[in-house]
Chains A and B, each alone.
Chain A
């Protein structure tokens, strides 16, 4: 559906040093998919989105939509933004204050050059799309009378009214308060499924990305560091950056003892002892690796429960934070390292207790560092 190939876009700061951009991003979005570009600010996600929209001209690379070339650096072909048939929701919504709700939503049909719409067509399409976002009863209102959440819906209606091939959402929820954000997130997902429109979603909020996406591309410093479903990204992070950026995690460093094939188990000689890990990619003997294990995957055990086995470390609980359905334990591994564990609160462990922690090998992921 959408192919982005080797996209380069470099920004120059005033002094001449590079100031962000993207450096060789490649991905493909399938029809009807909700695809998210995720990363911290300055990682290049918005730049990528604006290049797809046509608001920025990439330096090199190519972008094609439905097998139609939108941009190609090699042949210098470029389709202007107003000819691309892409709907976009801006971070600031960009609802025109001098028009009514209806006129805002009708604008893309009024300026259409591909197809002439009659008055009835426009009325019908706009009513339909306003109905879907729940703004039909406000259609005669001035756009300035809308609340933030309503402006957001209107922006979405405007982007969808001409049934574009692709919908782009640029941090659409970042200007809403927390409660409204969750509600709108669900609504976005519902509308996207209902219309089946292929969507690219840009956000810096990993929880939002996890909740809404079919697939996620994680960007860092203008490079795409991992591409996968939310489960893959969370369970099998491929870099320290991804592991740290998505959720909370424990990370330790060490060396690979033997060659480990992709998908196999292997042992890492680490700061906290030998630990058996899952290797999602092939790594050679002696290579520097780190491994990560999520706090909720660690099992707490009693110190008196028999001899310590493989993948078990011992330490003292320094702090316990009760969070309701779960408790968070900070465990001090003999003065040098900290381990964070999330476990059910009913196990009786308290601050000051010595405990053992078991790191299940299949949930302990080795990463090349």
Chain B
């Protein structure tokens, strides 16, 4: 899962937008940090807007002001058909994700189903699977020569009964991909709601089903709606599934249109992709504003008191084996099947689908090639360096920004605003924007690993901000005041008091951002060049080239590595009770 817990700033951030009336208007650290942020964020934004309004000369400089590109969008058929496709696909996947995720969360949090704790394991594993790999596994399962079509053919004789390269295929894969996210978020909604609301209903004479309908569901509704919108937004700006499934099936969505018009190396249609990007950006920004409003509503019913709280677990009797089976089935659907398919494929000398013959052809050759010297090893190394650099830059930087903002230092609210702004950029838009910047820079940054690191740092800045902000709010203000009154300077207070107390949140944020950064494909896709391959991009290319078995073996190795990271993330988060919504 590449986009876990993605969303908007914690609702508590609003409190920081209050500027103190007295004292200096600004401070040196705030100015320095704002400057760094602006240097990172402004150029891509400006370039993006400019290319959509100016013609571009062959040498890359801007020509005259024009509205041509927007006219082309509005008059052409592609934009609106893509918009409609994107909407259908996003609604569909949001509904699938919410229904399955909520079902899981209800079973896990509110019943005594055996084995319910194992669902968490599924979520931890999914966090370690890059979106591109997940999509590919599903394409192998549901593809022309995949096991599903094979079974149907054996049973009914119909050849290639289902075509996964279709709208429903896209929707299904994206929806299932988001189940671990919706499961985790719904679980926290259910856990945050005092069980005595339900008990009070039962004591009023309402039976469990009626209680569920009148109380649990009604009180949970704002949370469900907010989550629905969140998944909708994530699907709206998603790239992996539309690129791998949609393009092959000729179903265009906004993100793939941007990708296609930016991909051509020779005569690149800057204006066209710029206009597309600006439109997508505006839509996502509007949706995020709406989401912010909804999620504020969603929190109004939550009582995080902890006092007198007991989880209400419903005894299902014999029925609990049915729910147990349902959980196992969902685990297989969400995590198990794709992984099995991947391992199976990685052990094949060549991919021909799942046939009786293929079981006699198991070989480890792919792994031998993989572990030997060559580009595979390089790209794994590149990726780890890239992920670690991004996290190591973003986490301390945002920790400082968040602390200044949360403690309402003069002018620090602006840090919070700027650092969370990249949230409105869908990854592919940010990628296009940075592409313009790097191509036009006098320094040869284009195609280097540094360019990916810079772009990713901007992309994940809001996530770092969110973790650090929530972490700072958990630290009692007086702990810092005690340091100041002991004679410590602000900088010493930050280094000696705030950072150590924030350690749990920061480690958690580091691992989380690392996981997101190394698994994203849409951001580095347009930026990497020869010699700076990134695993997710390599996987993407291998699929395009039809090197399925190499892809699978590389995927297996990579997932095993990432599951370790994801498990660490899980334990750190639990150990320090990190809150980041």
From B197-205, B458-466, B527-535, the one touching the partner chain is B197-205
* Interchain CB contact under 8 A, A97 and B300: yes
Which of these, A83, A94, A171, contacts B199 with CB under 8 Å?
Answer: A94
Which of these, A88, A112, A144, contacts B200 with CB under 8 Å?
Answer: A88
Cα(A54)–Cα(B210), bound, Å:
17
Cα(A159)–Cα(B301), bound, Å:
21
Residues of A within 8 A of B219 (CB): 96-98
* Interchain CB contact under 8 A, A94 and B300: no
Interface: A55 (CB within 8 A): yes
Are A113 and B205 CB-contacts (below 8 A) given A97-B301, A144-B300? yes
Instruction: Give 1 or 0 for each of A61-101: 1 = CB within 8 Å of chain B CB.
Output: 00000000000000000001111011110111010111000
* Interchain CB contact under 8 A, A87 and B203: yes
Interface: B194 (CB within 8 A): yes
* Interchain CB contact under 8 A, A81 and B196: no
* Interchain CB contact under 8 A, A94 and B194: yes
* Interchain CB contact under 8 A, A98 and B200: no
* Interchain CB contact under 8 A, A92 and B194: yes
Cα(A91)–Cα(B308), bound, Å:
7
Interface: B214 (CB within 8 A): yes
Which of these, B203, B206, B218, B307, contacts A98 with CB under 8 Å?
Answer: B218
Residues of B within 8 A of A215 (CB): none
Residues of B within 8 A of A83 (CB): 205
* Interchain CB contact under 8 A, B196 and A111: no
Instruction: Give 1 or 0 for each of B306-321: 1 = CB within 8 Å of chain A CB.
Output: 0110000000000000
* Interchain CB contact under 8 A, B200 and A158: yes
* Interchain CB contact under 8 A, A94 and B301: no
* Interchain CB contact under 8 A, B196 and A107: no
A196 to B: closest C-beta gap in Å: 20
Residues of A within 8 A of B205 (CB): 82-83, 85, 108, 111-114, 162
* Interchain CB contact under 8 A, B202 and A92: no
| Chain B, interface SS category | helix
* Interchain CB contact under 8 A, A92 and B303: yes
Cα(A54)–Cα(B200), bound, Å:
12
Cα(A272)–Cα(B61), bound, Å:
103
* Interchain CB contact under 8 A, B203 and A92: no
Interface: B215 (CB within 8 A): yes
Instruction: Give 1 or 0 for each of B183-204: 1 = CB within 8 Å of chain A CB.
Output: 0000000000010110111111
B interface size (C-beta, 8 A): 24
Are A86 and B307 CB-contacts (below 8 A) given A94-B196, A96-B197, A96-B215? no
Instruction: Give 1 or 0 for each of A4-15: 1 = CB within 8 Å of chain B CB.
Output: 000000000000
Cα(A319)–Cα(B282), bound, Å:
76
Interface: B265 (CB within 8 A): no
Interface: A53 (CB within 8 A): yes
Cα(A82)–Cα(B200), bound, Å:
10
Are A82 and B202 CB-contacts (below 8 A) given A98-B218, A98-B219? yes
Cα(A85)–Cα(B205), bound, Å:
7
* Interchain CB contact under 8 A, A82 and B303: no
* Interchain CB contact under 8 A, A81 and B301: no
Within 8 A of A (CB), among B172-231: 194, 196-197, 199-208, 210, 214-215, 218-219
Within 8 A of B (CB), among A154-203: 155, 158-159, 162, 171
Residues of A within 8 A of B194 (CB): 92, 94
B297 to A: closest C-beta gap in Å: 11
Look across to chain A and name the residue whose beta carbon is closest to the beta carbon of B309. Answer: A92
* Interchain CB contact under 8 A, B200 and A111: no
Cα(A92)–Cα(B304), bound, Å:
12
Residues of A within 8 A of B208 (CB): 82
Instruction: Give 1 or 0 for each of A321-349: 1 = CB within 8 Å of chain B CB.
Output: 00000000000000000000000000000
Q: How big is chain A's contact interface, by range?
A: 20 to 34
Cα(A246)–Cα(B196), bound, Å:
30
Residues of A within 8 A of B360 (CB): none
B317 to A: closest C-beta gap in Å: 12
Cα(A80)–Cα(B205), bound, Å:
9
Which of these, A80, A82, A92, A158, contacts B196 with CB under 8 Å?
Answer: A92
Residues of B within 8 A of A111 (CB): 201, 204-206, 210, 214
B202 to A: closest C-beta gap in Å: 5
Are A90 and B307 CB-contacts (below 8 A) given A108-B204, A108-B205, A111-B204? no
Residues of A within 8 A of B214 (CB): 107, 111
A93 to B: closest C-beta gap in Å: 8
Look across to chain A and name the residue whose beta carbon is closest to the beta carbon of B200. Answer: A94
Residues of A within 8 A of B207 (CB): 80, 82, 113
* Interchain CB contact under 8 A, A82 and B308: no
Cα(A107)–Cα(B307), bound, Å:
25
Cα(A111)–Cα(B303), bound, Å:
25
Are A92 and B307 CB-contacts (below 8 A) given A98-B219, A98-B301? yes
* Interchain CB contact under 8 A, A90 and B210: no
Look across to chain B and name the residue whose beta carbon is closest to the beta carbon of A175. Answer: B307
Cα(A107)–Cα(B204), bound, Å:
7
* Interchain CB contact under 8 A, A94 and B308: no
Residues of A within 8 A of B203 (CB): 53, 55, 81-82, 86-88, 159
Cα(A161)–Cα(B206), bound, Å:
14
* Interchain CB contact under 8 A, B201 and A107: yes
* Interchain CB contact under 8 A, A90 and B204: no
Residues of A within 8 A of B196 (CB): 90-92, 94
B304 to A: closest C-beta gap in Å: 12
Within 8 A of A (CB), among B292-341: 300-301, 303, 305, 307-308
Instruction: Give 1 or 0 for each of A135-168: 1 = CB within 8 Å of chain B CB.
Output: 0000000001000000000010011001000000
Cα(A310)–Cα(B397), bound, Å:
79
Q: A94-B200, A97-B300 are in contact. List 18 more A-B contacts (CB 8 A).
A: A53-B203, A81-B202, A82-B204, A82-B206, A87-B203, A88-B200, A88-B203, A90-B199, A91-B196, A92-B196, A92-B303, A92-B308, A94-B196, A96-B197, A107-B206, A108-B204, A158-B204, A159-B203
Q: Which residues of A contact B (CB under 8 A)?
A: 53-55, 80-83, 85-88, 90-92, 94, 96-98, 107-108, 111-114, 144, 155, 158-159, 162, 171
Nearest 4 pairs of A and B residues by beta carbon:
A108-B204, A94-B200, A111-B206, A94-B196
27 interchain pairs, CB-CB under 8 A: A55-B199, A55-B203, A81-B199, A81-B202, A82-B203, A82-B204, A82-B208, A83-B205, A85-B205, A87-B203, A88-B200, A90-B196, A90-B199, A90-B200, A91-B196, A92-B196, A94-B194, A107-B204, A107-B206, A107-B214, A111-B201, A111-B205, A144-B300, A158-B200, A158-B204, A159-B203, A162-B204
